[in-house]
């Protein structure tokens, strides 16, 4: 009966995809939902690749997964991945169903799976990755993830005992996950912007995770990411197995230092966040067994997915779509920090409300007061247009951050936002959008360029 149920679930999941395509819709995780409804232990029964690299963590897991997949593909390995289906149990079920034969045997030797950290208990009950990358554990949606120590506890209880962990050694919350498991650490050497002082509103590690003693930071990259030492028990960051060093964001290069030698690879972006992504990828693929030169050569040809960062020019301005993951104060603070450090005058359209929350509810905006809107209080950011469902909350928050009223504009409708921009020749416009807002952001980007072109032709 169990096997029949599984086969029914598998075939139903496989049928969903062409049916959805006929209806003109993307498959997403729906086939997996169907499979799990028919066969709740579908993940246990479905065939899985012999080697699985899983990636979890609060930020960067999608990008890291995409880059790992890209490098593997360029190296001649075709991995199964859950890029289309999503990172919860249904998304992974959908990907495994798609990658299996009609009897449920997998057609892949290697899998690269992005795993939602909150879903780890459900997923790792059935899937035992060979390698599990944890990018970082930071503040996320207070509604879903509460706080990073809570997520660390979930991961510790969920991760299979034999799985080797690849952990961010600059993040002492991540370092504490599943202490009995085998592990390797990656980290980034000191960077020009490092400080000792806290520049952020969020710091989830102000006291020692072991003894609650005072943590003294040797250097801080941002928030609790950096190197700290407990003044009471001496607890500190581990020595990294993969150290990103001599980072040269301008020329997009970094050296990866391993215990037996250095090698150089390309950075895909100049942001610290993406420097971490590359060092994470390097560590994961080295642990997977790829040669240094193979990884380095593949990274030369790899680009960041355009859904996260996409620039277009028109009318004398550049309009950049920049994802700012809604309700994630940490991730958005990183974006604000990055924007504030970019040279040149710029304007911002802030439309990263959580669109999904406004279908039947209202967004919990507490995150705004954990987020560093203060970074936007710089003369280089000449105008900020707040828009979307929470435009009034954005406006209030920016006032609290000290941004002068004359630099702010507000309009409820996103597509009206470009009209509120100054659009000075040579200026960049950053369109900050949330996870469900990419299509709308594309329209706003197009409208911004049209507006710029229209003003230029009238000038």
Partner 1 sequence: MRIELLFPDACYLGGDTANFEYLCRALPEAETVRTGIRQRPAFMDGDVDMILLGSMTERAQVLARDALAPCLDRIRSLIDGGTVFLVTGNAIEVFGQYIGDEDGTRTGMLGLFGYHAERRMMARHNSLYLGELDGKKIVGFKSQFGHCYGSTEAPLFRTLRGVGLNPDTEGEGVLRNNFMATYLLGPLLIMSPPFMRYVLELLGRPDAPVPFEAAALAAYEQRIGEFENPRVRMID
The binding site for partner 1 (CB under 8 A) comprises: 142-144, 146-147, 149-150, 201-203, 206-207, 212, 214, 329, 360-362, 364-370, 392-393, 395-396, 399-400
Nearer to partner 1, 64 or 365 (CB): 365
Q: How many contiguous H segments (helices) and E segments (strands) does the chain have?
A: 14, 17
Contact 205, 173 (CB under 8 A): yes
What is the dihedral sign for C-alpha 114, 19, 356, 308? positive
Nearer to partner 1, 15 or 212 (CB): 212
Those residues whose C-beta lies under 8 Å from the C-beta of residue 118, and which sit 6 or more positions away, are 144, 145, 151, 154
The CB-of-219 to partner 1 minimum distance in angstroms stands at 19
The CB-of-362 to partner 1 minimum distance in angstroms stands at 4
φ, ψ (nearest 5 deg) of residue 271 = -80, 150
Nearer to partner 1, 73 or 393 (CB): 393
Nearer to partner 1, 270 or 370 (CB): 370
Nearer to partner 1, 19 or 399 (CB): 399
φ, ψ (nearest 5 deg) of residue 289 = 115, 5
Contact 296, 266 (CB under 8 A): yes
Nearer to partner 1, 15 or 366 (CB): 366
Residue 291's CB: how many other CB atoms inside 10 A? 12
The CB-of-366 to partner 1 minimum distance in angstroms stands at 3
The CB-of-385 to partner 1 minimum distance in angstroms stands at 15
The CB-of-30 to partner 1 minimum distance in angstroms stands at 22
Apex 332 CA angle, 208 and 448, nearest 5 = 170
The CB-of-88 to partner 1 minimum distance in angstroms stands at 15
Nearer to partner 1, 393 or 442 (CB): 393
Contact 308, 323 (CB under 8 A): yes
Task: Extract the tokens encoding 107.
Answer: 């057609």
Closest CA to 370 of 116, 141, 56: 141
Those residues whose C-beta lies under 8 Å from the C-beta of residue 1, and which sit 6 or more positions away, are none
For residues 372 and 139, give the distance between their C-alpha atoms in angstroms, rounded to a whole number.
13
The DSSP string of 425-445 is TT-EEEEEE-TT-HHHHHHHH
φ, ψ (nearest 5 deg) of residue 384 = -125, 120
The CB-of-360 to partner 1 minimum distance in angstroms stands at 5
- The alpha carbon of 375 is separated from its chain's Cα centroid by a whole number of angstroms, namely 20
For residues 16 and 6, give the distance between their C-alpha atoms in angstroms, rounded to a whole number.
15
The CB-of-145 to partner 1 minimum distance in angstroms stands at 9
E strand residue ranges, 74-182: 80-81, 110-114, 131-134, 164-168
Nearer to partner 1, 208 or 417 (CB): 208
The CB-of-194 to partner 1 minimum distance in angstroms stands at 21
The CB-of-159 to partner 1 minimum distance in angstroms stands at 17
Nearer to partner 1, 190 or 364 (CB): 364
Nearer to partner 1, 261 or 361 (CB): 361
């Amino acid at each position: 009966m169990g096997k029949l149920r599984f086969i029914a679930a598998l075939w139903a999941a496989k049928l969903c995809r062409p049916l959805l395509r006929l209806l003109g819709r993307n498959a997403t995780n729906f086939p997996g939902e169907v499979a799990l409804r028919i066969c709740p232990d579908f993940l246990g029964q479905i065939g899985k690749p012999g080697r699985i690299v899983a990636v979890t963590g609060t930020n960067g897991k999608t990008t890291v997964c995409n880059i790992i997949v890209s490098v593997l593909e360029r190296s001649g390995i075709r991995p199964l991945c859950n890029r289309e289906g999503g990172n919860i149990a249904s998304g992974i079920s959908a990907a495994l169903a798609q990658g299996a034969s009609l009897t449920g045997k997998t057609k892949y030797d290697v899998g690269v799976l992005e795993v939602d950290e909150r879903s780890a208990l459900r997923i790792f009950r059935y899937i035992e990755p060979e390698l599990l990358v944890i990018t970082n554990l930071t503040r996320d949606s207070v509604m879903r993830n509460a706080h990073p120590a809570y997520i660390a506890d979930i991961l510790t209880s969920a991760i299979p005992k034999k799985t080797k962990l690849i952990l961010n050694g600059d993040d002492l919350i991540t370092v504490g996950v599943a202490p009995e498991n085998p592990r390797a650490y990656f980290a980034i050497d000191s960077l020009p912007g490092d400080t000792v002082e806290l520049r952020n509103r969020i710091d989830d590690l102000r006291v020692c995770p072991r003894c609650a003693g005072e943590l003294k930071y040797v250097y801080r990259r941002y928030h609790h990411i950096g190197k700290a030492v407990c003044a009471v028990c001496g607890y500190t960051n581990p020595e990294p197995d993969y150290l990103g060093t001599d980072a040269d964001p301008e020329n997009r290069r970094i050296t990866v230092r391993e215990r037996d030698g250095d090698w150089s690879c390309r950075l895909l972006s100049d942001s610290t966040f993406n420097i971490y992504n590359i060092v994470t990828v390097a560590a994961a693929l080295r642990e997977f067994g790829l040669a240094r030169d193979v990884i380095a050569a593949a990274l030369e040809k790899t680009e960041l997915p355009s859904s996260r960062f996409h620039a277009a020019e028109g009318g004398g301005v550049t309009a950049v779509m920049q994802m700012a993951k809604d309700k994630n104060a940490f991730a958005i603070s990183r974006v604000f920090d990055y924007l504030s450090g970019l040279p040149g005058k710029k304007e911002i359209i802030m439309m990263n409300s959580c669109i999904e929350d406004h279908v039947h509810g209202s967004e919990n905006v507490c995150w705004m007061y954990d987020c560093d809107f203060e970074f936007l209080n710089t003369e280089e950011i000449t105008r900020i247009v707040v828009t979307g469902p929470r435009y009034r909350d954005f406006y209030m928050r920016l006032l609290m951050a000290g941004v002068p009223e004359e630099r702010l504009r507000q309009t409820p409708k996103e597509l009206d936002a470009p009209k509120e921009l100054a659009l000075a020749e040579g200026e960049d416009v950053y369109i900050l959008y949330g996870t469900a807002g990419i299509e709308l952001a594309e329209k706003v980007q197009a409208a911004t360029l049209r507006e710029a072109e229209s003003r230029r032709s009238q000038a």
